[in-house]
Amino acid sequence: MATHTKPVLAANWKMHHGPTAAAEFLETFLGRHARRDDRTVILFPSAIAFTTARAAASARPDVRFGVQNIHPAEKGAFTGETSAPMAVDAGAAFVLVGHSERRHVFGETDAETAEKCARAAAHGLVPVLCVGEKIEEREAGETDAVVLRQLRAGLAGLGADDLRRVIIAYEPVWAIGTGRTATPDDASSAHAAIRAELRAIGGSETDEIPILYGGSVNVGNASTLLSAPGVDGLLVGGASLDPESWATICGA
C-alpha cells in the first residue's frame, strides 16, 4: 500500500526564508496552487521558520512539512541541534537525511545517516534519504557504487515496515546549485539502480518507495524530468524559493 502519492514534490529551502518571508511565501503559493490529491507536496523550511510556515498553511493539509535535519540523539547538550521528538512536536512529518551539503560541508558520514534514519523512523518521521555522487566519482565510473553504498548504509537500521515508508532522493552532487542538470537518461539510469537495490533489500514491497531526482531542477526542466522512467518526483532547491515558480513545478 502506497504511503505517499506520486509524484512527490519536495522543496528544500536550505538557509533561506525566515519567518516573515515564509509567511509571505505561503500566502502567495497557496493562492496559486490549488489542492490536488494526485501528488504529495512537502516543504522543508529552515528550523527557525518552520512553525510560522506550517501555521500559514494550517488550512491546507495537502501541503505537508518536514525538517532539514535532526540530531541522532533524543536530547542532550547539543547546542544548535534539533531532535526527532522536537520535530514531531512542531508538526513535522518528514526529515531530510544525508543531503549532499550535510555530507560534504558538515562531514556527515554514512553511519550518521543510518542513525538519523533509524531515529526518525522510531518517532514516526519519514526519512527522505539523499544519495548522490561527486563529479570525480561519476567520471571514474563509480556512480552506482557510491550511490548504492550510501543507500544501503542509510537504510541499514530500518525494519521492513519502516523501510516501506521512506523516500529516496537521488541528487548528483555535481548538479546541485550549479545549473548543470542530469539528463533524463542519467536520472533514469541512477533511479533504476536504486530501485533494483531496494528490491534486493526489501523485496517487491519496496516498489512503492518514491525515488526523487534533485539537482538544478527548475520550471523549464521539471516536466521533462518527471516524465523520465523511474523518476517519482523532485527535490527542489533554488527554484522552490519563489512561490510562483514552485507553484508551477507543483503543477508539472
52, 63, 84, 152, 164 from 37: Cα distances, Å = 24, 10, 28, 32, 21
7, 64, 116, 186, 228 from 122: Cα distances, Å = 25, 19, 10, 34, 33
Looking only at the bridges linking them, the beta strands covering 94-97 and 126-131 are: parallel
Q: How many residues does the chain have?
A: 252
Spot the catalytic one: 133, 171, 191, 197.
Answer: 171
**Is 99 considered catalytic here?**
yes
**Is 139 considered catalytic here?**
no
Q: Measuring CA to CA, which residue among 63, 5, 9, 28 is closest to residue 250? A: 9
HEC states along 145-179?
A: HHHHHHHHHHHCCCCHHHHCCCEEEECCHHHCCCC
Spot the catalytic one: 99, 101, 191, 197.
Answer: 99
Q: Which residues are catalytic?
A: 99, 171
